[in-house]
């Protein structure tokens, strides 16, 4: 990505990976628009950024919200150059106990919302001959995991979206990639730890240690390590159509 200041939009920017990505982009001198449902969390992230920021609270699972967020960025700074589709959450249940509501909720947030963001961003990027799209997926986009059928299906789907979009846009100056973390030390993982502890009777520390032990490096991934992979996708125009694992060696590719 050239040294000129770019306009970036990060979804799910209120905490965890989204926060770290926003901080990385801002530290490199770029304008960063932040969107998530929590106004308070977005304000806290904006206060940590060294460069210009926009706070745009929204629920991007609402169809009209995506266009409203993009329109707000365009009105203030112009078109989005770098889109990081990071918003996400997970639900856990046995396959037979996964309700239609749980299924729809995961697909809406993890697949349909990124699709709408990419669809909205791409025409302007193609017109300008430059764009970077990065979707924060999951290692669950690469392999099946028990008790998260809806989450895994959505993440497999969004990796397919990335690959199709990258193939279509390869000659346009627009790159499209996914970053696929394993368990990251974030509030989302805290929820998983609490659920494991409740179901197994383990302490929170024991449940966290069990998750860390599932990764060959023996620890949780940091949000900053994921943000570095996102940054690679932003700066390297020859990297496109990839699902970059940030998983401590759990899935070798």
Which residues carry out catalysis? 151
Tokens matching residue 135: 């979707």
Number of CB atoms found within 10 A of residue 236's CB: 14
- What CA–CA distance (Å, rounded) separates 55 from 45? 9
DSSP string, 34-54: EE-S-HHHHHHHHHH-SS-EE
Which whole-number Å values give the CA distances from 95 to 61, 100, 219, in the listed order? 23, 11, 28
The 3-state DSSP class for residue 88 equals: coil
What one-character DSSP code corresponds to residue 222?
A: P
């Amino acid at each position: 990505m050239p040294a000129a200041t770019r306009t970036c939009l990060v979804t799910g920017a209120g905490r965890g990976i989204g926060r770290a990505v926003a901080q990385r982009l801002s530290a490199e001198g770029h304008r960063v628009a932040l969107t998530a449902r929590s106004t308070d969390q977005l304000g806290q992230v904006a206060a940590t950024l060294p460069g210009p920021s926009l706070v745009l609270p929204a629920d991007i699972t609402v169809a009209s919200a995506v266009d409203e967020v993009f329109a707000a960025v365009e009105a203030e700074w112009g078109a989005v150059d770098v889109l990081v589709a990071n918003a996400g959450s997970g639900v856990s249940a046995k396959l037979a106990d996964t309700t239609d509501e749980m299924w729809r909720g995961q697909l809406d947030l993890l697949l349909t919302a990124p699709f709408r963001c990419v669809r909205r961003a791409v025409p302007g990027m193609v017109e300008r001959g430059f764009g970077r799209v990065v979707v924060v997926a999951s290692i669950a986009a690469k392999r099946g995991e028990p008790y998260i059928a809806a989450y895994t299906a959505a993440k497999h789907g969004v990796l397919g979206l990335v690959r199709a979009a990258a193939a279509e846009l390869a000659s346009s100056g627009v790159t499209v990639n996914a970053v696929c973390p394993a368990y990251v030390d974030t509030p989302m993982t805290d929820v998983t730890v609490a659920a494991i502890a409740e179901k197994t009777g383990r302490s929170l520390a024991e449940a966290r240690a069990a998750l860390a032990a599932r990764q060959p490096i023996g620890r949780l991934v940091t949000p900053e390590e994921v943000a570095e992979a996102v940054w690679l996708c932003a700066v390297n125009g020859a990297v496109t159509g990839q699902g970059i694992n940030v998983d401590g060696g759990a899935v070798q590719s």
